[in-house]
Amino acid sequence: MQVTVHTSTREVLAVYAIDEARMELVITLAPNYPLGAVKVECGKQIGGRANSRNVGMQLTIFLTHQNGTINDGLTMWKNNLDKKFEGVEECYVCYTVIHQDTCQLPKLTCKTCKKKFHGPCLYKWFTTSSKSTCPICRNVF
């Protein structure tokens, strides 16, 4: 991963490249950062598969509302991509490999559809849906 900081435009550009896959991430800082919100844009994606909308939202929340540092956010982004390219299956609730709070991989598997989930993601799913069914196949978990 290569990180470039442009102080004049208040932007941080991160480029993740592995084999033919290349993904870019641009973090734009507000003039009153860290008090103001950051803007996260997922740039070019060549090869590989990444859910750029979820990545942008996750990083924006992490940097703005969870007092995360830019370095920690970029490290989380890189670690998720590393695990994704290693073949680790992502959680089908939050669409990330490494959970942002617990830093764990998805471990809980549905016995019917075999999809994996993070524990906190499943707990949130169960409490918000008021059901104890799998988010994917809707069979009892």
pLDDT beyond 90 at 4: yes
Residue with tokens 């799998």: 134
pLDDT one-digit tens code per residue, 12-39: 999 998 877 788 899 999 898 878 888 8
pLDDT beyond 90 at 9: yes
Render the burial of 66-88: b for 16+ CB within 10 Å, e for the rest. eebebeebbebbeebbebbbeee
Rounded to two decimals, the pTM is 0.69
Whole-angstrom Cα distance, residue 122 to residue 3?
34
